[in-house]
Amino acid sequence: MKALLLTNDGGFKAQVSQVDEADMPAGDVTVALDYSTLNYKDALALTNKSPVVRTWPMVAGIDGVGRVVESSHPSWKVGDVVVHNGWGLGETRWGCLAEKVRLQGDWLVRLPKGLTAHLAMGIGTAGYTAMLCVLALEDHGVQPKSGEILVTGATGGVGSVAVALLSKLGYTVVAVTGKPQEEAYLRSLGAAAVIERAAMSEPGKLFQKERWAGVVDAVGSHTLANALAQTRYGGVVAACGLAQGMDLQTSVMPFILRGVSLIGVDSVMAPMAKRQRAWDRLARDLDPAMLGKMIEDITLEQALDAAHRLMASQVRGRLVVNLRPSPAPVKYY
Ligand code: NDP
């Protein structure tokens, strides 16, 4: 089968290769994949920018959607359409940038009603993580009437989906971006205001004027420190990313004087009930027309170049990788 293979034999290489299906890891469900996607972590792996891959050779790709072609798992039968996110794929186990993948049935989510396979990968881990962030805000009491919500890294995958979801749910969304030329795009997703990245990404005071009722942060570092310092009394900050950096220099002041909550969000090992809840809400609360605006379709052969663009912050929204043998992406079921 065709796969995007990463090797590290006397030097790192990423290339579309023929691999033997017999070399796929053990598992109880085999899936013929229709689409995968490129997330930030996929791009890190494809460009070898950080040590995402732990065993070699590795088939990249943390997300996939496709039809079950073999199953000995009680929940899945041949022909079922399944969605996979995370669980170490593309890191410690062969992933979904391939024509087929072998998985554990306990990791799979059924394609929710109302979503096509193509849209499910338009969402992918980035969009599902955006939903986990929105759920974190809701679960900690943030409501549309609470006040403005800040979304950082707004033109990226997590950011774009978060802006679209929150605005559809009635929140007033303020988007932070390093791409001021994309203001019209962010407003079309529902952002009420757009602020330039530099206003948030430089080191700031540890305690600042209150503004945000909630924050979805995909970038970390000084941006997250400033967001915490500007969060209103009782506000909630959902932190999921490190596009600016993994450091965080802050103080206890927002926590002890304003009762601010900092909630960590992980998608990779999230338990099944949480995943199912997030996917059900995505099918209900994300407008497919908004999602359509975010998607750029690419082929497996274009994935490596696209990964370099993503690392250079030159991608807007989401990249969907077509894995079907036919040249044009066909969007059925
Ligand atoms: P993208 O590359 O699509 O988006 C990241 C965005 O961050 C960019 O588009 C850009 O948006 C902004 N950005 C890039 N560089 C910087 C910088 N130096 N300073 C400030 N902002 C910057 O990635 P994703 O949306 O897929 O992922 C975002 C982050 O979330 C990543 O760090 C990723 O690892 C993390 N993540 C974590 C998950 C989890 O389970 N916790 C799951 C999924 C993602 P703009 O130009 O608009 O400012």
In short, whether 190's Cβ falls inside 6 Å of ligand 1 is no
CA-to-CA separations, 99 to 44, 117, 126, 189, 250, in angstroms, rounded: 21, 15, 22, 33, 45
pLDDT of residue 10: 87
Domain shared by 134 and 258, yes or no: yes
pLDDT tier at 326, thresholds 50, 70, 90: low
In short, whether 100's Cβ falls inside 6 Å of ligand 1 is no
Residue 288 covered by a domain: no
Ligand 1 atom nearest to 182, measured from its CA = 47
In short, whether 71's Cβ falls inside 6 Å of ligand 1 is no
The torsion angle over the Cα atoms of residues 241, 243, 245 and 246, rounded to 10 degrees, is 20
The last residue of a domain, from among 264, 281, 305: 264
98 alpha carbon, distance to own chain's centre: 19
CA of 217 to the centre of ligand 1 (A): 9
pLDDT above 70: residue 162: yes
Domain shared by 302 and 219, yes or no: no
Domain shared by 107 and 145, yes or no: no
Domain shared by 29 and 130, yes or no: no
Residue 229 covered by a domain: yes
| Mean pLDDT of the region 164-173 | 98
Q: In the block, which residue shows the tokens 């969402």?
A: 123
Over pLDDT 90: what percentage of the chain? 97
Ligand 1 atom nearest to 157, measured from its CA = 25
Residue 160 covered by a domain: yes
Name residues whose C-beta falls within 8 Å of residue 11's C-beta, 6 or more positions apart in sequence: none
pLDDT above 50: residue 173: yes
pLDDT of residue 333: 47
Domain shared by 60 and 135, yes or no: no
Residue 147 covered by a domain: yes
Domain shared by 101 and 157, yes or no: no
Per-residue model confidence as pLDDT tens digits over 227-241: 999 999 999 999 999
Per-residue model confidence as pLDDT tens digits over 271-295: 999 999 999 999 999 999 999 999 9
- Binning the chain into helix, strand and coil, the percentages to the nearest 5 are 35, 30, 40
Residue 185 covered by a domain: yes
Domain shared by 144 and 103, yes or no: no
Q: Write out the two tokens for 314.
A: 């030159």
Per-residue model confidence as pLDDT tens digits over 181-220: 999 999 999 999 999 999 999 999 999 999 999 999 999 9
Q: Write out the two tokens for 124.
A: 């992918």
The last residue of a domain, from among 264, 283, 304: 264
Provide the CATH number for the domain around residue 174.
3.40.50.720
Residue 47: DSSP 8-state: H
Domain span including residue 131 = 125-264
The residue whose CB lies within 8 Å of the most ligand 1 atoms, and thus the one to mutate among 131, 158, 237, is 158
In short, whether 179's Cβ falls inside 6 Å of ligand 1 is yes
pLDDT of residue 229: 98
pLDDT of residue 211: 98
DSSP string, 124-179: HHHHHHHHHHHHHHHHTT--GGG--EEESSTTSHHHHHHHHHHHHTT--EEEEES-
CA of 15 to the centre of ligand 1 (A): 24
DSSP string, 223-266: HHHHHHHTEEEEEEEEE---SSBS-----SHHHHHH--EEEE--
The residue whose CB lies within 8 Å of the most ligand 1 atoms, and thus the one to mutate among 38, 40, 202, is 40
In short, whether 5's Cβ falls inside 6 Å of ligand 1 is no
CA of 40 to the centre of ligand 1 (A): 7
In short, whether 23's Cβ falls inside 6 Å of ligand 1 is no
State the total domains in the chain.
2
The pairing of strands 109-110 and 81-85 is: antiparallel
Domain shared by 222 and 308, yes or no: no
Per-residue model confidence as pLDDT tens digits over 118-160: 999 999 999 999 999 999 999 999 999 999 999 999 999 999 9
Domain shared by 248 and 143, yes or no: yes
Ligand 1 atom nearest to 240, measured from its CA = 41
The last residue of a domain, from among 264, 280, 307: 264
pLDDT of residue 144: 98
Per-residue model confidence as pLDDT tens digits over 99-113: 999 999 999 999 999
Q: Per residue in 148-174, is it b (16+ CB within 10 Å) or e — as a string?
A: bbbbbbbbbbbbbbbbbbbbbbebbbb
Q: How does the average pLDDT of the chain come out, rounded?
A: 96
Domain shared by 258 and 134, yes or no: yes
pLDDT of residue 332: 47
Beginning with the edge strand found earlier in the chain, give each strand of the sheet holding 231-239 in spatial order. 193-196, 173-177, 149-151, 212-217, 231-239, 261-264
In short, whether 17's Cβ falls inside 6 Å of ligand 1 is no
Residue 250 covered by a domain: yes
Per-residue model confidence as pLDDT tens digits over 35-75: 999 999 999 999 999 999 999 999 999 999 999 999 999 99
Domain shared by 130 and 240, yes or no: yes
In short, whether 310's Cβ falls inside 6 Å of ligand 1 is yes
Provide the CATH number for the domain around residue 71.
3.90.180.10
Residue 276 covered by a domain: no
pLDDT above 70: residue 243: yes
Q: In the block, which residue shows the tokens 């796969």?
A: 3
Ligand 1 atom nearest to 41, measured from its CA = 34
Residue 244 covered by a domain: yes
Domain shared by 95 and 211, yes or no: no
